[in-house]
Structure formats: C-alpha cells, structure tokens
Chains A and B, each alone.
Chain A
C-alpha cells in the first residue's frame, strides 16, 4: 500500500525567509511519481512539480527547489525568499503505475508567510 506523510502540520515564517516542506512516502512499486500541489486560501488545487522514481536529479525553478532522495524515500520542497503570496496548504502526493494511477495525498502542510 502507498502512504504519504507530511509531518509538519503548520509552518510560520517571516517574509524573505527560506522554508522547506518535508514529504516522506512509502511504496512497493518500482515505478512511481511524486507531486507537489498548492492550495491557496481560495481553495483550488494547483500543480507545482512532478518527479519520476527513476529521475533523482534535483531541480531549481525560480524560488522553488526540490530534493528527491530515494534512499530515504523523501521528496522535500523548498521555497527561497518566501513571500506572503506563498501562504497556502501544500500537499505531497504519490501515484503508482501499478495502481491505476490513483494518487495518495499527504495531509498537507499549512504555510503562513508573515509580512
């Protein structure tokens, strides 16, 4: 069975601080996909990033960066120089090729960026 754990329930930072959101996953499949989604206060779900299980290259995109480590089953997400508009709930999700593409979501981390 697949499982996603986001141990940080809430994080509060001051604007311009860097913040890392943690995600740990469990899966028995060898081919899987990890996602980060953002849910701003308006409620919609916005896709941010996807990583394949066979691609451990980390990436930076603007103020966002991702650290995928298969050895520790972690897929962490960092926001550099946080802004008030980054305040949202962030969800980590896991999908498996062998599971009809169903996604398992973590319970989310609420990020509050104070001015």
Chain B
C-alpha cells in the first residue's frame, strides 16, 4: 500500500533550469494538492485539483504549473527555477472535499543555486 509517492526526494537545480516534481497516489482520491514548506513556516498551497482534468491555483502559484491527466498523477512543473523556490515540496491527496485528513507524500527537498 504505497499511498502518496513523490519523486525525487532531493534535487539541486541551477537558476533558470526546469524540472518536474512527480506525485502519484494509489488510493483513487479525487482531491490532490501541492504545498511548499519554507524553513520555520507552515505549508502554503501552490495548486490543487478536484479531479482529472481540473486544476486551480492556490495561495502561491507563481512560477509553477500543474496538470492532472489521470486520477493517480499530479505533477508539478517549475519552468525557470529561482532561488526563492528553494523549499520542501509536499504532495497530498484526500478522498473527499474537506472532512477527511490529507495523506501526504514524504516530500521533495529542492535547492536552487
């Protein structure tokens, strides 16, 4: 029972490079979320999806893009990496809108140098 799987676990990027953070869940959850966690701070919502083909911006979407072609996968794309995007990124899913707790992946630690 894998739950929410994020890859990679760690990555170092140079300024201006692009990359995709992968997130997959095997629980058939409709709702998926991407958060970033800066040092000493809580989680800030980047993007979320309520089902395949439907995505929307969260609190801090600038510099990121997402897609949701399947229920299982919700990749996060960084197009032109900037030092301000150095953070730990968490993907999460939940089975319905608000009543259930979110299931989190183990996170991706990303450094932009």
Which chain A residues have a beta carbon within 8 Å of chain B's beta carbons? 4, 6, 31-33, 35, 37, 43-45, 47, 50, 52, 91, 95-97, 99-108
Q: Among A32, A43, A47, which residue has its beta carbon within 8 angstroms of that of B98?
A: A32
- Residues of A near B90 (CB, < 8 A) are 45
In the assembled complex, the CB of B37 is this many whole angstroms from the nearest CB of chain A, namely 9
User: Which residues from B are CB-within-8-Å of A35?
Assistant: 101
3 smallest beta-carbon distances between A and B, as pairs: A101-B97, A105-B42, A95-B98
Cα(A44)–Cα(B107), bound, Å = 7
B104 within 8 Å of A (CB atoms): yes
Cβ of B58 under 8 Å from chain A = yes
Interface string of B88-99 (1 = CB under 8 A from A): 101010101111
Known A43-B88, A43-B107, A44-B104; judge A101-B98 contact (CB<8 A).
Answer: yes
CB of B21 within 8 Å of the partner chain = no
Query: Which of chain A's residues have a CB closer than 8 A to the CB of B31?
Result: 100-101
Is the beta-carbon distance between B40 and A103 smaller than 8 angstroms? no
- Bound Cα distance A96, B97 (Å): 8
Least Cβ–Cβ distance between A8 and chain B, in angstroms: 13
Write the nearest CB–CB distance from A7 to chain B, whole angstroms.
13
In the complex, how many angstroms separate the beta carbon of A9 from the nearest chain B beta carbon?
8
Within 8 A of A (CB), among B93-113: 94, 96-104, 106-107
Residues of A contacting B33 in the complex (Cβ-Cβ under 8 angstroms): 102-103
Query: Given the complex, which residues of A lie within 8 Å of B103, measured CB to CB?
Result: 47
Instruction: Determine which residue in B42, B102, B103 has the highest number of CB atoms from chain A within 10 A of its CB, and name it.
Output: B42
Residue of B nearest to A92 (CB): B42
Q: Report the separation of the CA atoms of residues A37 and B40 in the bound assembly, to the nearest whole angstrom.
A: 15
